[in-house]
Structure 1
Amino acid sequence: MPLRAGLPKRWWRRFWPATSRSRRWRSAGRTTPSPNPLSDRWPEGVARHVLARTESTNAEALRLAPGLSGPAWILTHEQYGGRGRRGREWVMPAGNFAGTLVLRPKGGAAAAPQLSFVAALALYDALADACGPSARLAIKWPNDVLLNGGKVAGILLESSGPELTSVAVGIGVNLAAAPDSGAVEPGAVTPVSVRGETGFTIGSEEFLDLLAPAFAHWLTQLETWGFQPLRNAWLARAARLGEVITARTGTNQTRGVFEGIDDSGALILKTPAGQQILPAADVFF
């Protein structure tokens, strides 16, 4: 086996097991901070703003966007007006992650929706580091990440202006606690938390140290090679691929076998009436 010293860190971390010095997760009963082997991997040219409290990191990111010279992460320790898809409230218990990356996407409006897949893959990688090897992670179309079958993270893309000069990639992760399941839409996946499912504790700033480099990696893949590598990676991590699911768009409901996603990221369902391609929908299992 070749020496790992000859490989970039982002590669040897994927092939060599974590040691006591490089392990990112720690038990909930420990309070001593673990070493941070990713501190030297913060993406070059990406700013970082940490707030004590804000209404919405997406709103704050879009407010700051005109004055930014490059991409920037906005992280808050308390968010009191967060939003999910279709204007739904995003509840943030104390200790959870609420952050937004604001950037000007290469390719303009056409490329913006693909940032959701960049975010999902980055979240998957960051959570794999945070949760340990026994955690079961999967990506649920279009914008959720599941941990042991429950929703642990969500993604919301928003833009500013008719010309889509900036995109805010909002990310919420239940690190410490899950919202009350009674507030969830009927039939939706039950929310879970990293601490509740694994017993491990990770702070929001420490989690951002994992997420930001992972996002930069997948964004580089998209900008260099196009969507196909991301599509393949996403499908390899997809929840319920090959199984029967239900897709709901407004009052319309389509049930069929989840066959994959097309070159634009749209959902492909095999139904009794034939193949259906849905660019937007809510998925239920």
Structure 2
Amino acid sequence: MIRSMTGFGRGSVDNPKGSFVVEIKTVNHRYCDLNIRMPKSFMPIEDRMRKLVQKSVKRGKVDIFITQGNYENKNVTAVLDQGLADSYVKCLKELKERYNIKESISLGLISKFPDIITVKQTEENLDEIWDILEPAFNEAIHMLLNMREKEGIKLKNNVILKCNSIKKSLEGIDDKSDIIVEEFRCKLNNRLKDLINDNELDETRIAMEVAIFADKSCIDEEIVRLSSHIIQFKDTLELDEPVGRKLDFILQEMNREANTIASKSTNLEITKLTLNIKNEIEKIREQIQNIE
């Protein structure tokens, strides 16, 4: 199924052991460029997150935001450095006696000294965290893929319409291609008559010139190849895999054939139809830049 590279997904989980929100935003990019913003403590399980997302997202710039909700953190404790506190109290008593200070030594004063009380965080059970976080990831990915698929359907329908327009213009070129040589023969014949007073023309020479022109201006092969590329392009749209790069390559070949037809054309109507084809190809190129 065709997927757009633009999408958004959100998943959340509320668990007594942890509350999390996972948001995934994607835009078009040539490769899969994945960036994760998360609490630093989750860095050891970043690889799991990447592998989970990359199973479903093959191309695009992917930004992932993980928000950790407020919950009781049993892994954080306050630790008293009793030896350091004793040393501070001893120093304060010596200062008090030496300088005859009447002010009492208070708990508030002692607790303000650095490193008396420190916060210690024990290592979290990352497997347990991942078990809680993974369902939120899956929910976000599911929403993201749904949005990308809906956008992909719109892109596919739009591109098919443009392919049909190209095919119609190509059929018009094919109908007119047969008269190009005859037009040239008539123009050459009339021009020579104007140049030669007695109107005696060398039919063999004219036939030779017409044959040379016909060989140079023949666009039958280009018409056949461009028709084949259109069919291949449509068939590729039906593949159940990422096809953005393949579509881009086929489109380059379509544009190559259109340029060749334009360079060989001496007929105004064929030139106009070729310009229509090139215009539609450029519109398709803009669209497929956002196809995965």
TM-score when scaled to structure 1? 0.20
> When you count strand as a share of all residues, which structure comes out higher?
1
Higher-Rg structure is: 2
Q: Which has the higher contact order (CA 8 A, sep 6+)?
A: 2
| Bigger fraction of residues in helix | 2
